[in-house]
Amino acid sequence: MKNLMNKFLKNESGATAIEYALIAGALSIAIIGGMALVGEGLSARFGNIKTELTKSVSGGTTGGTTGGTTGGS
């Protein structure tokens, strides 16, 4: 029984597996956090592009006679 207990206390393979699991968990949290930040930036950028394209298209269909900077009043 004493030998069995000594073997159990000296066995470090479980500790190594736990260390690898903690490292993998930390890396995945960092990757997910980074992707979230990149996603927010891309969403904002595409929103700005959409706004500018909408302005451009709606300004071009009026012929420039009403509104905008080219209209004459």
pTM of the predicted model as reported, rounded to 2 decimal places: 0.47
Specify whether the backbone of 26 is left (phi greater than 0), alpha (psi in -120 to 50) or beta: alpha
Q: Could you tell me if 56 and 64 are in contact, meaning their C-beta atoms sit under 8 angstroms apart?
A: no
Whether the predicted pLDDT of 64 surpasses 70? no
pLDDT tens per residue across span 3-60: 877 777 777 777 788 899 999 999 999 999 999 989 988 999 999 999 999 999 987 5
